[in-house]
Chain A
Amino acid sequence: MDAPLYLLDGLRKSYDGPAVLDLEHLEVQAGEVLALVGPSGAGKSTLLRLLNFLEPPTAGSIVYHGRTFRDHRVPIAVRREITTVFQRPALLRGSVRRNVAYGLRLRGQRDDRRVEQMLAQVGLGDRAKAHAQRLSGGEMQRVALARALVVEPTVLLLDEPTANLDPYNVVLIEDIVRRQNREQGTTVVLVTHNVFQARRLATRVGLMLSGRLIEVGPAPQFFESPSDPRTAAFVRGEMVY
């Protein structure tokens, strides 16, 4: 088996108080879709921020591509291999095209064709000139996804990307993510409350509770024969804290 893309050991994060994330060990394999499920406050979003090197861990290390990182000193080239789509799309002022091209501009690149292709891929080919802030919620999230994918990331982190969206947009976004993973080999780490979405997209699934990883395994095993009773309860849709 190849070395994992991410290797997290003894990873801990706290903000002037008890740890919000306390992870003994987690590996993310290159090219997989890993879904992390769990209730609010389980530390899922915190983990994504650490994986994107947006925040340094309080303790422990993140090994990424064989390089160990323990603090905020992460080369910009490494950070630029990873990107996140958040629950709220946080679009910039200006047109849809400007938003989608933004990541390229940060890298000193300009590729209008790629931007147009990406817009077409998310079904917004005819909205390039529209004001980004005036789109519907689903369209905004598709712009955010196009903006993340246009830079061809090695790792795509998704933080509740379809929460509060209508089924049409959910299907569209899931299709784009699936295609990106299959065709480009992009590693995807998806955080969601929605076990059904995890089941539809993920190759492996993990349950997080109170900052800890309770169980992680291949999707069929996670859903059909979980080893932890809390996982079984969560999969059944029971309230688990």
Chain B
Amino acid sequence: MDEIVRGLVRAVNLICTADPAVLEIVWLSLFVSGLALAISTVIGVPAGAALGLWSRIRVRGLITVLLYTGMGLPPVVVGLAVYLLLSRSGPLGFLGWLFTPSAMVFAQIVIALPVVAGLTMIAVQSVEPGVRLQVRALGATRWQELVAVLREARVGVMAAVVAAFGSIISEVGAVMLVGGNIEGRTRVLTTAIVLDTRMGEFDLALALGIILLLLAFLANAVLFWLQQRAEG
């Protein structure tokens, strides 16, 4: 109980004093997860919408099963796969990304992309089929039809983005493996918490945990607010 209280006090202290080391970790956490989420959204939303809309896409069933599997990928397995890909002898070793934030973004995209695409596909499929037909009957082009359906499914699409953000901001296995938890370079909140716990710095680990929770809460509050506006 004492550790929890000390952790809370230290968290408040770290936030109030704007500790540079903590700020750097927080900034890197937000940068890595934010960039991974943005890229996953840009690719995943149209891909999920296309899968949900056009039943004529061949091997759609196989892609759907792969997406569902991807949604449950253990981050540590993703980390291992990305590590092997980016290691010097791996097929993408020439990029020189291993133990850099780029590798962490790459790994988090692998985690977030199936979540965004899969949940977007489900959201689009749940839009009343009559809406699509009606929009086309009013003279929509294919592109306008896609935009209209996405607009109708926007609450579900936002939920997809929220879920993906939750899955990457809190994961530790992948970023630990491909980032290496290097101080000042690749240390993020989750890997810092692991390290501090191992070193017995429970109050600092707890403080960072509280900051992580706060960040997740804030990000989700913003997305929730946007979702509410969309439901209007």
Name A's B-contacting residues (CB within 8 A). Answer: 49, 52, 54, 76, 79-80, 82-84, 86, 88-90, 92-94, 102-103, 106-107, 131, 144, 147-148, 151, 157
Query: Counting chain B CB atoms within 10 Å of each CB, which of A49, A102, A131, A157 scores highest?
Result: A102
Closest to A131 in B: B232
Alpha-carbon distance A54/B128, docked complex (angstroms): 17
Taking CB atoms, residues of chain B closer than 8 Å to A88 are: 130
Alpha-carbon distance A131/B231, docked complex (angstroms): 11
Query: Across the interface, do A103 and B133 meet the contact criterion of CB distance under 8 Å?
Result: no
Query: Across the interface, do B138 and A93 meet the contact criterion of CB distance under 8 Å?
Result: no
Taking CB atoms, residues of chain B closer than 8 Å to A83 are: 137-139
Closest to B138 in A: A103
Contacts A90-B130, A92-B152, A106-B144; A54 near B138 (Cβ below 8 A): no
Candidates B128, B133, B140, B232; contact of A106 at CB < 8 Å: B140
Query: Across the interface, do B130 and A86 meet the contact criterion of CB distance under 8 Å?
Result: yes
Closest to B139 in A: A80
For window 131-157 of B, CB contacts with A under 8 Å fall at 131, 133-141, 144, 148, 151-152
Query: Across the interface, do B144 and A92 meet the contact criterion of CB distance under 8 Å?
Result: no
Alpha-carbon distance A83/B139, docked complex (angstroms): 7
Alpha-carbon distance A106/B131, docked complex (angstroms): 15
Query: Across the interface, do A93 and B152 meet the contact criterion of CB distance under 8 Å?
Result: yes
Query: Counting chain B CB atoms within 10 Å of each CB, which of A86, A90, A148 scores highest?
Result: A90
Shortest distance from the beta carbon of B123 to any chain A beta carbon, whole Å? 13
Contacts A92-B148, A94-B232; A147 near B130 (Cβ below 8 A): no
| Interface contact tally, CB-CB below 8 A | 51
Taking CB atoms, residues of chain B closer than 8 Å to A80 are: 139
Taking CB atoms, residues of chain A closer than 8 Å to B136 are: 54
Query: Across the interface, do A151 and B138 meet the contact criterion of CB distance under 8 Å?
Result: yes
Taking CB atoms, residues of chain B closer than 8 Å to A147 are: 138
Taking CB atoms, residues of chain B closer than 8 Å to A106 are: 138-141, 144
Closest to B154 in A: A93
Shortest distance from the beta carbon of A10 to any chain B beta carbon, whole Å? 24
Q: 22 A-B Cβ contacts within 8 A? A: A54-B133, A54-B136, A54-B137, A76-B139, A79-B139, A83-B137, A83-B139, A84-B137, A86-B130, A90-B131, A92-B131, A92-B135, A92-B148, A92-B152, A93-B151, A93-B232, A102-B138, A106-B138, A106-B139, A106-B140, A106-B144, A107-B139
Taking CB atoms, residues of chain B closer than 8 Å to A131 are: 232
Taking CB atoms, residues of chain B closer than 8 Å to A144 are: 134
Taking CB atoms, residues of chain A closer than 8 Å to B131 are: 90, 92
Alpha-carbon distance A76/B137, docked complex (angstroms): 11
Query: Across the interface, do B151 and A92 meet the contact criterion of CB distance under 8 Å?
Result: yes
Closest to B144 in A: A106
Alpha-carbon distance A93/B151, docked complex (angstroms): 8
Alpha-carbon distance A49/B130, docked complex (angstroms): 12
Candidates A82, A86, A92, A102; contact of B133 at CB < 8 Å: A86
For window 190-232 of B, CB contacts with A under 8 Å fall at 232
Alpha-carbon distance A166/B128, docked complex (angstroms): 24
Closest to B134 in A: A90
Across the A-B interface, the 8 shortest Cβ-Cβ residue pairs: A80-B139, A90-B130, A90-B134, A84-B137, A103-B138, A90-B131, A88-B130, A106-B139
Besides A83-B139, A94-B232, 10 more A-B contacts (Cβ < 8 Å) are A83-B137, A86-B134, A90-B130, A90-B131, A90-B134, A93-B151, A102-B138, A103-B139, A106-B138, A107-B139
Shortest distance from the beta carbon of A14 to any chain B beta carbon, whole Å? 17
For window 59-99 of B, CB contacts with A under 8 Å fall at none
Query: Counting chain A CB atoms within 10 Å of each CB, which of B139, B148, B232 scores highest?
Result: B139
Alpha-carbon distance A208/B128, docked complex (angstroms): 28
Shortest distance from the beta carbon of A239 to any chain B beta carbon, whole Å? 28
Query: Across the interface, do A90 and B139 meet the contact criterion of CB distance under 8 Å?
Result: no
